[in-house]
Amino acid sequence: MPVRAVLFDVGDTLWHAAEPPSPAEFRRRAAERAAAFLAAHRIDGVDPAALARTCWDAMDDAIRAARAGDLVEPDYPAIAAEAARALGAPLSRQLAAAFLEAIYVSGAEGGKVAYPDARPTLEALRARGFRLGIVTNRAFGGERFRADLRQAGLDVDWDVIAVSVEVGYLKPHPRLFEAALETLQLAPQEAAMVGNSLAEDIAGAQRLGMPAAWKRSRPDGDGVVPDFIFDRVGELLDWSLLAEAARVR
Ligand SMILES: [Mg+2]
């Protein structure tokens, strides 16, 4: 069965934090936005920096627990609302969602830059006739993520974008990969996964029967054997599976 689509992880596969702001700078920006948010919603008596930090830490803890546990994407607005309540700031779930969105420093602002050969490689795969998709773990999706992709030059008219927070499951849970395959109407063997995490991208995809290429990174999984290993994104074009599949289509 020839491969018809190539699905990509994003972080440290297509883009990376080249010169990210320091953690202190991230916190300063988040606190500034938190102050503006609280003022706009006429909420006082809460320290904006403390509220931003508390909500963010609660979210981080939930992500870590989910990744080590059932891989169900946590309900971040509910978690932030609870953390805010403990600080004496009664935010509704809806307001907590808006607050998280407001303090989130993302994309180019967060120092994210596409690898120089990412876009040319995506275009070359497209020219070979492959459909292209994204399968990504992230706590923020929606238009903001699409805009960050555009700003990074990674807007290649994706055939599918499967974001964990939108689907409800984190890689390596099969549901996130399946969501992408269902949209493309492809069997697992017809889609190759590309990513930098052995545990999330490679093992998760292979478990479903998808071939998987690993962008060499600090190994995070034991006993996982990728179908292809590369260092620069452009080397993907040399993967025999993608060359053969292009010939048979
Ligand atoms: Mg990654």
Helices (H), 136-202: 142-151, 164-167, 174-184
Quote the ligand 1 centre to 145 CA distance (angstroms): 15
- Domain identity same for 86 and 152: no
Residue corresponding to tokens 């994003």 = 10
Does residue 193 come out as left (phi exceeding 0), alpha (psi in the -120 to 50 range) or beta?
beta
Measure 44 CA to ligand 1 centroid, in angstroms: 39
Residues 191 and 116 occupy one common structural domain: yes
Question: Using CA atoms, how far apart are residues 229 and 151, in angstroms rounded to an integer?
Answer: 28
Euclidean distance between CA atoms 123 and 104, whole angstroms: 30
Is 249's pLDDT higher than 80?
A: no
Confidence (pLDDT) at 29: 95
Ligand 1 centroid distance, CA of 107 (Å): 14
Q: What is the pLDDT of residue 90?
A: 87
| Segments forming the whole domain that contains residue 45 | 23-104
CA 83 – ligand 1 centroid, Å: 28
Task: State whether 69 and 144 are in the same domain.
Answer: no
Span 158-179, average pLDDT: 98
Give yes or no for residue 246 having a pLDDT over 80: no
232 & 160 share domain: yes
What is the pLDDT at residue 100?
Answer: 96
Q: What is the whole-number distance in angstroms between the Cα of residue 84 and the centre of ligand 1?
A: 30
CA distance 192 to 214: 11
Q: Cα of 244 to ligand 1 centre, how many Å?
A: 26
pLDDT per residue over 207-240, tens digit each? 999 999 999 999 999 999 999 999 999 999 999 9
* % of the chain with per-residue pLDDT over 70: 100
Which 8-state DSSP code applies to residue 22?
P
239 Cα to the center of ligand 1, angstroms:
19
Task: Give pLDDT, residue 244.
Answer: 83
Clarify whether residues 37 and 153 are in a common domain. no
Beta strand residue intervals within the chain, DSSP E: 5-8, 15-17, 112-114, 131-136, 160-163, 191-195, 212-215, 228-230
Instruction: Summarize pLDDT for 24-66 with one digit per residue, the tens.
Output: 999 999 999 999 999 999 998 899 999 999 999 999 999 999 9
Question: Which domain CATH number covers 157?
Answer: 3.40.50.1000
Tell me how far the alpha carbon of residue 16 lies from the centroid of ligand 1, in angstroms.
Answer: 9
Last residue of a domain, one of 74, 104, 134: 104
Contact between residue 79 and residue 56 where contact means Cβ atoms under 8 Å apart: no
Using the mean position of ligand 1's atoms as its centre, give its distance from the Cα of residue 91 in Å: 32
Please tell me the pTM assigned to this model.
Answer: 0.95
Q: Among residues 59, 82, 104, which one ends one of the domains?
A: 104
Q: Are residues 99 and 113 in the same domain?
A: no
How does pLDDT run across 71-112, given as a tens digit for each residue?
Answer: 999 999 999 999 999 999 889 999 999 999 999 998 888 899
Q: Report d(CA 70, CA 169) in Å as an integer.
A: 9
For residue 159, give both structure tokens.
């055939």
11: which DSSP letter? Answer: B
Confidence label for 245 from pLDDT (cuts 50, 70 and 90): confident
Unique residue bearing structure tokens 């993302």? 106
Length of the chain: 249
Same domain, 220 and 143: yes
What is the distance in A from the centroid of ligand 1 to the CA of 82? Answer: 29
For residue 66, what are its two tokens?
A: 């989910």
